[in-house]
Each structure stands twice: as C-alpha cells, then as structure tokens.
Amino acid sequence: MFEPLLPLNFLRRAARLFPSKTAVVDGARRLTYGALAARVHQLSNALRSLGVTKGDVVAVLSPNSHRMLEAFFAVPQLGAVLAPLNFRLTTPEFAYILEHAAAKVLLVDWEYAHQVAPLLGTLPGLEHTVLLRDDEIPTAPLPAHDYETLLAAASPVFPVPVEVAETEVATLNYTSGTTARPKGVMLTHRACVMSALNYITALNVVPTDVYLHTLPMFHANGWGGIWALAGRGGRQVCLRKVEAQTIFTLMQQEGVTLACAAPTVLVTLATFSGARDYQFAPGVRIGTGGAPPAAAVLRNMEALGIEVLHLYGLTETGPFLTSCEWQPAWNDLDVSTRYRLKARQGLSQLLTDVRVMDEHLQEVPWDGQTVGEIVARGNNVMEGYYKQPEATAEALRGGWFHSGDLAVVHPDGYIEVMDRAKDVIKSGGENVSSVEVEAMLYEHPAVLEAAVIGVPDSQWGEVPKALVVLKPQQQASAQALMEFCRDRMAHFKAPKSVEFVETLPKTATGKVQKFALREPYWAGQEKRVQG
C-alpha cells in the first residue's frame, strides 16, 4: 500500500475530483483543473520530445504566470529537476547558475529574453530554449522554441509514467546565502510535499480559498503554495508585477482570500492611499516572512480587515520552519504587547523538529534570555547544496541544519530571533551576500577596502550599507560607487548608502569586525535584525 509522496499527486487529485473547477486565473486566461492537467501533460510530453529525461535539469525564468505554474508539475512528472530562477538577477549570475546546474532546457518569459540572449551558444549543456509568451514581442531576439506551439503538438495525455522515488530531487533552488556564489538547494519530492502540507496547516488553506500570487513563484517554490492550493482545490490568481492598485483590484474582482508576501510588500499595501476604496472578501489573510511585521503595518492591515500571519524559514528548509500561532488569551492584552507577540517567529511546524541550541548542540533553556542558534531537522530539510559537499557538511553538521540565526525560546515555547550569526543581509525578503557586494566594490579602481553591513530600513527591513576606505590619491563619490554596483549586479544587492572611513576595525588576524561597524546603526534597537 506504499505510495511515494509526490507534489504531482495534488494536481492529480484535483483533476480527478473537480475537473470543471477554476484552477488558475492569469489575466484573461482562466483554466479549469481539467485544462490545467491537460496542459501539464502536454508540457511533460513536449519536454520529453526535446530529450528531457529523468534527472535532467529544466530551468525556468519567468514572473508569476500560468506557464511557470505548469512547469512546477510538468517537470517533476518526468522525474526531471526544476530550477526556478530569481528574475531579479543579472546575466552573469544566470550564466553561472545555468552552467553550475547543467540545465538542459531553459524556459524563459518574453520579458527576460534580453537577460539570456547573450548566453545562448555559450553554455554547452543548454540544448534548448523555450520562449514563454502569447503575442508579446521579446525584449531581445531569441532563437527559441515557442511554448504554445510545442504544447499544441504534444498529447494532453501522459502515457508513460516515470517511476520517481520521493527521496529524489524535485527542485533546485539557488539562494545567495553567505558566499559570493549562489548555492543550489536540493529539495526532494518528499520535502516539497511536506512544505505544501505545512503551508496548508500554517495558513489554514480551504477548498474555497482564492490565492493571489504576490510572492514570486521562484522564491522557495512559492513557499509550497502552488502545490498546496492545488491539493485543496483552491483557485490561484497570477500576478506578474507587484503594484498596490493591481493587487487591490484583483483582490476585489476575484474575491481573493489568501496571499503571501515579503514584508516590503505589506508596507506597500498598508500605505496605499486608495486601499479603503476596495471591498474585500471576508477572512482575508496574508502570510509574511523574512522579517518581523512592524506594529504600524499590522495596524494598517488589520484596519483593512486583513489578518497577517507571521512565518519563519529558509529556502534550505522548504521553507517553513515555524509559524507564530495566535493564542486566544492574547486578545485581551494591550495593543503593543499583542504586536510584539505576533512578531515572534513562533512554534515549529508539523513533522519538523526546530530547536534553539548552543555550540555543543544542547538545547537552550526556555527562559527568553539564553541565546542559541536555530537548528532543524525533518523531511522538509534539503538534501544538501548541489555539487558543494563541504558547504553541505557544514550546514548539516551534527545531524541538524544550522540556520545561522540566533534566537531565544520563551517559556511558552515560542522562538524569537534576536541576531544573525551570518553576515547575510535580508532585504525585502531577499538574501544579500555581503561578501558578494564587497567583491564588487573591490573591482572599483578607487577602493582600497570595503565592508558591507545591513542597516535598519523602514521599508525593506534592512538594506546594504558600504563602509569604504579609498586608495591614497584616489577619489570617488558615494553616488558613483552605488551606481558602479547597480550597473553590475541585481539592484536589490547594491548598497543603498556609502560611507567613507579612514580605517576598518579588525581583529588581530586581520578580520574585519562587522559587529563594531553595525553597532552605531543598531544602537537602541530591541533586536539586531530586521530582515
């Protein structure tokens, strides 16, 4: 009676039980579950005709769309590995990832054709490129197959099922992490199923839910929401670009009841002047993670009748580790205390063991004061980093995944992040490697030394700030250095401010003491982390 846990089974259930129910809305296009399943089969068959077999990597570069959603089912159905790409990256970063992942096929949306056009013909492992569009003109000429033409020539029936073990890799998600080069997080089919189940329980997903994809699908597989909503038979509404007016319009038109978003999107929604002009469905809730929601944002969202649910996790954990489950007794507390409690990271998810431990892997006391590192183990944790055994061994040492986040555990068992062991800057829900930004600054001919830290920011949680020592007899303005970085890397990674200093504080071994650099900016803050 054993049946492998595969995320594909969520769509199989929906297509069998309610084929006429609306599954996806993308602009003027509306797909039922029956039609979605047929297109998924067509894509699987089309990829098979291009030579994709079990274990091959298929990359997809696209904003949220029904075609990207289809890939999340069609690629794993072949036993192949889906690599969703962060569309905010740059051409050199795409080149590195595609080569490192040995991607065989690239699905690319028309809007990002200019990002990959220079790479075609330079990557020996990339055999086919497929252009995703209706009648839009690509942003650059691209020798590629047309997605819809491929599907039209393929059968809507998938005749030869592929035997897939739940322990095999389903997705390869590249995350910035702490090094200059992104790491490929290997998540198994079983881990993806666990993430979908955690999503369902943490966000209380029901069959009548209408989910708006405000969160990028590439971001930790859309947190598992793509599979979770299909499993419950909910409706998914695609959103190509995050704009407050568009979001509120879709919420009203489609009766949206559920969304997920990085904290910066909540800020955009909470401060939108026309928000009160819209009528929303009852019981709207938005899951957020990457930073504790600010009290002012919570107040503004609740005033609109929208409940904010606070979650915590990492790409390496699928992503959910904890959720701040609300306790009824908290309703009687004063406003400031309620919001402070809601900002905690919360309790571990089902089937996931999350603890705060000291350097000896001993659990810290639940006293709300003793600081340790958040560690986790369970079926949702990654298999490791692709082709990086040393980084994998370090992250999974002692049989636990080490988050690098420092936290306390309160007497009620709720975890609260207090600081970050790593130098990752979490800006607007995105990881920014300080090492990568520093390496870029060192490319400037006037820079002698550079250190990049995260500093508080009301909109993004925290943003990169560069402290720079110039070479003797050299000059450069702060604006020039910021533009130098912005021209060569994703904009969210570039420093938002530059300060010139005479020296950088260092240890006896020459390591820059970033804690000393951060201190003036975080002084007076209750926590040394916003992201």
pLDDT in the model for residue 510? 57
pLDDT in the model for residue 531? 42
**How confident is the model over 232-243, as pLDDT tens digits?**
999 999 999 999
Residue by residue, what is the 3-state secondary structure of 403-433? Answer: EEEEEEECCCCCEEEEEECCCEEEECCEEEE
pLDDT in the model for residue 298? 83
- For the chain, the straight-line distance linking the first and the last C-alpha, in angstroms and rounded, comes to 44
pLDDT in the model for residue 180? 58
**How confident is the model over 350-389, as pLDDT tens digits?**
889 999 999 999 999 999 999 899 999 999 999 999 999 9
**Confidence class for position 485, pLDDT limits 50, 70, 90:** very high
Least confident span in 100-114, 126-140, 152-166, 499-513: 499-513
Are 221 and 424 within 8 A, CB to CB? no
**Domains of the chain by start residue, with CATH:** 8-241 (3.40.50.12780), 424-522 (3.30.300.30)
Are 294 and 268 within 8 A, CB to CB? no
Cα angle 4, 6, 9; round to 5: 105
- The C-alpha atoms of residue 68 and residue 85 are separated, in whole angstroms, by 11
Residue by residue, what is the 3-state secondary structure of 329-382? Answer: HHHHCCHHHHHHHHCCCEEECCCEEEEEECCCCCECCCCCCCCEEEEEEECCCC
Short-list 187, 236, 182, 2, CA closest to 76: 187
Q: Residue 345: which residues within 8 A CB-CB, separation 6 or more?
A: 292, 310, 312, 321, 322, 324, 374, 407, 414, 415, 416, 417
- The C-alpha atoms of residue 431 and residue 490 are separated, in whole angstroms, by 12
**Confidence class for position 2, pLDDT limits 50, 70, 90:** very high
**How confident is the model over 399-455, as pLDDT tens digits?**
999 999 889 999 999 999 886 676 778 888 887 878 788 888 988 999 988 999 999
CA 259 centroid distance within chain: 14
245-261 mean pLDDT = 97
pLDDT in the model for residue 526? 66
**How confident is the model over 200-228, as pLDDT tens digits?**
999 999 999 999 999 999 999 999 999 99
pLDDT in the model for residue 448? 87
Residue with tokens 């998938």: 158
Distances in Å between the alpha carbon of 481 and those of 195, 418, 484?
40, 31, 5
DSSP 3-state of 179: coil
What are residue 14's phi and psi, to 5 degrees?
-65, -40
If 0-12 CB within 10 Å is exposed, 13-18 middle and 19+ buried, where does residue 85 land? Answer: buried
Q: Order of strands, edge to edge, in the sheet holding 401-409?
A: 352-357, 372-378, 401-409, 415-420
Q: Residue 516: which residues within 8 A CB-CB, separation 6 or more?
A: 505
- The C-alpha atoms of residue 270 and residue 290 are separated, in whole angstroms, by 17
β-strands 401-409, 145-146: how paired? unpaired
